[in-house]
Amino acid sequence: MMDYYRAYNQAHAWVDNYLIGIDELGRYQEELVDEWERHFDRMVRKLPADATEEARQQAGDDLLWQVLENVTVPIRDQYDQVFFHRGQHHCLADEALVGWHPEFVQRVEALTSQAAHA
């Protein structure tokens, strides 16, 4: 939660003070999603078709920490603060653009479908 809060506030302060454009922040987030997709696809391919729910959750947890601990996409060359990297991933997860469970897309769709019919 702390990384999310700090990254959210940092991004808004940069935009509010014209230190970064909203388009640059958007491109950064797109790069994070692109990098996440590579890792996510690899995780899913490595899981056997008959993987247990426990194995799927463990694979998602492993992916989460693999992605959060490695800053491979800095927002700027001179700025690669880990809290910002981690927090932006949490922001993207909040928007259901990235996820950790192998079936997160299907689960989000099921939840939104239920909410729409309620």
pLDDT for the residue numbered 34: 95
Length of the chain: 118
Average pLDDT of span 104-114: 79
Q: Cβ distance 98 to 36 under 8 Å?
A: yes
pLDDT digits (tens, 9 = 90+) for 37-51: 999 999 999 999 999
Confidence of residue 118 (pLDDT cuts 50, 70, 90): low
Confidence of residue 81 (pLDDT cuts 50, 70, 90): confident
Pairwise CA distance, residues 99 & 60, whole Å: 8
**Type of residue at 104:** F
